[in-house]
Amino acid sequence: MNDSHKILKIISVSIAIAFSDGTLANARNVSALNQPKIFKFQEIVAQSPPSETSSPVESNSEGTNIEYLDPSANPLLFPTRPEEVEIDVTQPITLEQAIELAIRNNKDLQEVRLNLERSLLELREAEAAWYPNLELGLDLSNSDSPGAQRQLELARQRNGFLTDEDTTTTSFTGSVELNYNLYTGGRRGADIRRATRQVRLGELQVEQLTEQTRFAATRDYLILQNTGAQVEIEQAAVEDATQTLRDARLLEQAGLGTRFDVLQAEVALADAQQRLTRAEADRQTASRQLAQTLSLGPRVGISARDEIAEAGIWNLTLEETIVLAFKNRAELEQNLIQREINEQLRQIALSEIRPQLSAFANYQFLDQFNDDIGITDGYSVGARVQLRIFDGGAAIARAQQREKDIEINETQFANQRNQIRLEVEQAYFDLQANQNNIKTAQIAVQQAEESLRLARLRFQAGVGTQTDVIQAQTDLTTARGNLLAAVIQYNQSLNQLQRAVTNLPEGRLFDLP
């Protein structure tokens, strides 16, 4: 009778657990039911990844008005009231939209674009040296000089009579002069070539910062995805811990469990709740970080709309990837262009001690209004040669400075080349490691879920311990986190590899205008 009574107690407790907050199946799969996004992304990860030419993640811009996310047109906006910085809306956006906003709103990118426009105007100024200078001068004057008055007074004294002759003179003079530099010692051509290369350097700076902005927006978006999924993982852990505590209390009430088991379950639930609080704070921080990268307004919050999935595959070998990076990276071309600019500046410095040849033509005319003579005119035509014989060695010293700058550019090129190779190799190796970790983590999640299910069944049947269930819960949370981290880190590695290889999605530099 005692054994029968004990069996009946176990059955009654099991039924109570099963129907306490749903069916037993619901209790066993509570984490799955409370984590549709996690299981959805597991399904996506299991699918074949997209091709390398596809965008990192699918974008769905329906229902998202990114114009609303633009910052204020006033760059000097300075909120002074709490309600002016209070977030009143949280807008989900896709990765594609995040990149678009970042490129459109980035202040540093706007600055380099303005610098490029300035370089174009500087080139126009340098090209103006091919044209002659034409100057026009006009002068209308009325004068009464002391010399004229003295001469008039002397004439009066010598002749002995008074005169009312006026000593003031009103005159109108003008001149037109044409100058053209026939030979400038190579300065004119060198300055135009320098300005041309400066424009190209500005284009590369725009390209480089555009790609860096895309990389930063993608990186921060992936971090936001990660923190959002971590919140869901911790929410599932809280649900698991809550279910375990509920089971422990029911068993204690039935006399089949101990107070120690209940206390263990309560501690595990408290730990899970603390991790959930920390995960929510990390998500809020990641949201603000992305908002800052996108230069959004002070009252706008954002969340990630895209599901977590592998961003793509990389089909090139390591050696092919390194060579492609050498061909495409704008930083290498920037060093070469800066070297060319310094070479032109060297020629400009040397032109100061070379002969300068110019031609000029001048026409002048004069008319005095208070005489009986009409307009008189004249002209001059000629050429002028100038040569600086001695300048204390200043021009040579400037040229030698530019030679040292050229050597510095060559050293920087070699250093940048080595740095690019290191970046490619690091990203490539990380990509391979994370791709393997995804497969391992998927298996670990499946095993951890099965382990938790069995641990609960054993505990409910009275043949397992509370410690086994708590450990299984911890293992499942860790496995889910590892899978999430593997996918996010894979995407981050792919993002880093794309940044290390090329500065444009098409993988090519744009041509000179």
Burial class (CB within 10 angstroms; exposed 0-12, middle 13-18, buried 19+) of 34: middle
Determine contact, residues 290/102, Cβ cutoff 8 Å: no
Instruction: Give the count of beta carbons closer than 10 Å to the beta carbon of residue 164.
Output: 4
Tokens of 8: 């009946």
What confidence tens digit (pLDDT) does each residue in 267-282 have?
A: 989 998 999 999 999 9
Q: Give pLDDT, residue 202.
A: 93
Distance in angstroms (rounded) separating the CA atoms of residues 435 and 48: 13
Q: Give pLDDT, residue 256.
A: 74
Range 406-417 average pLDDT: 94
Domain-by-domain residue ranges, the chain?
Answer: 2-501
Q: pTM of the entire structure?
A: 0.69
% of the chain at pLDDT higher than 70: 75
Range 398-421 average pLDDT: 94
Q: Which residue has the tokens 């090129």?
A: 413
Query: Strand, coil or helix: what is 89?
Result: strand
Q: Give pLDDT, residue 508.
A: 41
Q: Give pLDDT, residue 313.
A: 86
Rg of the chain in Å (alpha carbons): 41
Instruction: Evaluate the CA torsion angle 24, 30, 34, 39 in order and state its sign.
Output: negative
Residue among 220, 212, 208, 211 nearest 95 (CA): 220
Q: Give pLDDT, residue 257.
A: 75
Q: Residue 484 — very low, low, confident or very high, per pLDDT cuts 50/70/90?
A: confident
Determine contact, residues 420/349, Cβ cutoff 8 Å: no
CATH level 3 topology of 2-501: Outer membrane efflux proteins (OEP) (1.20.1600)
Range 93-101 average pLDDT: 89
Distance in angstroms (rounded) separating the CA atoms of residues 442 and 42: 8
Distance in angstroms (rounded) separating the CA atoms of residues 431 and 492: 8
CA distances from 230 to 39, 44, 220 (A): 13, 17, 15
Range 112-124 average pLDDT: 94
Q: Give pLDDT, residue 87.
A: 63
What confidence tens digit (pLDDT) does each residue in 22-81 have?
A: 333 333 332 332 333 333 333 323 333 333 333 333 333 444 555 556 655 555 565 656
Using the CB atoms, write b or e for 367-389: b if 16+ within 10 Å: beeeeeeeeeeeeeeeeeeeeee
3-state secondary structure 93-127: ECHHHHHHHHHHHCHHHHHHHHHHHHHHHHHHHHH
Tokens of 411: 């050293």
Q: Residue 15 — very low, low, confident or very high, per pLDDT cuts 50/70/90?
A: very low
